Structure 1
Amino acid sequence: MDNALFVSLSRQMVLKREMDIVANNIANADTTGFKVETLMTRTEPKNPANTAPGPRPVKFVLDDGVVRNFTQGTLRSTGGTFDVGVEGDGFFTISTAQGDRYTRDGRFHMDTTGRLVTEAGDPVQGEGGGDIVVDPQKGPVSIAKDGTVSQERETLGKIGLVKFTELSALRKTGDNLYSNSSNIQPQPATDSVMHQGMLESSNVNPIVQVTRMIEVSRAYERVTSMMDTTAELSRRSIERLGQVN
């Protein structure tokens, strides 16, 4: 019976991890550019915990990592001068203290020096590198569909967009940013389009995620019930053996 308890415990641990991921998806349903995540699982054969009759080997359930769905989110109008929504598979390049990071979150603004920066204050990189600086003393800023930033007919720079041939190279680092965890070099995303005054919504479907949360919760309860039953059977068996002796 120990084997059943160990297998059930491995399933419980995976379900708890999945619940955390589903809850995070729901919490970020309104986060700009957030991509929905799903837990991958696998079974791994192990030697049984005892020599009692039963299947060999025993298969445990394990966490096999998280995958992200990078499909396009809905573009919504904000009217913000420095809000930029991406249509296509491109990512903005952001310069941080830890190195270049990538994001779909186009909530930009000017810092005190006029640089185009993220919500966290990290500069947005132009095409080929370098900051984009706006003169706060001049007129309105225009951002073209190819990312060209201009002010009073003067070109200030061009917001760069890059793409990855393997999206698995992107590792989440927090603040809606990704790092390149591989040797794959990003390529210019020339087929992507930028929309000024718009932002990309999360691609999380709250109804699907709430439904999945209920399914995971019920699965956890079923496993817990089975473990309680197994433990009770084990207890009764020990009591009967004690009475025989």
Structure 2
Amino acid sequence: MRLFLGLIATICLAVTGGPAMAAKKKPVVVNPVEQRLPPPPLSDTQNLLYLDLSTGGRVVVRLYPNVAPKMVERIKILTRQRFYDGLTFHRVIDGFMAQTGDPKGDGTGGSSLPDVPAEFNWMPHVRGAVAAAREGAAPDASAEEKAKAENSANSQFFIVFQPKLSLDKKYTVFGRVISGMEFVDSVERGEPPANPSRILHAYIAADNPPPYTPAPPPPPVTLAPAPSLAPAVTPKPAVTKPAAPKPAARK
């Protein structure tokens, strides 16, 4: 009997391939980690954007073609066309962001170039982040309408004052301010601002831009002379004396 039981156990062991094979589990499939290409070095002047603001200084933005190559290329093209020179910050929300890049100045304009497809990436909307503005879509919008809005970036962009992580992977972050953020902080607030701040000039650092030049002072205001408070004097009518009669001729 013992011999019979031992023979059965030996056969079972041979079929299963031993305890190690019997306990072997299926391999766990792990989603691949998002590939993160390294950013260009800070010494790469082709990827440094200068924004000379009317608030008193130069803002330096580090561009990230490693995460948003299409939007970075668009910013470079428009900058070299002097597209941004003179444009206002038309929408500035305190504690949130400052938006610019619209030639119309009301948030509805853009360049003559085609829209840029979405390049949503892992970069967060922290202080100093620079992201492409785009159209919004209603919560109940169709998939087609949402896709159209997501792919509507063109020339406008915004600079974040305070972290807004709820925007992550919903807008294309393509740069970050590395110098001069205090000049962004000084931008006039409003939607639109009563006296909007401006981009005086925008440059790519590799193009050897001139030093920052402040905006010329506004022309002096000439005031009209104040009205006199003295009572008006009514001139007296001129008195005409009657001519003296001529003496009668002597006979």
The TM-score, its normalising length taken from structure 1, stands at 0.24
The TM-score, its normalising length taken from structure 2, stands at 0.23
Higher strand share: 1
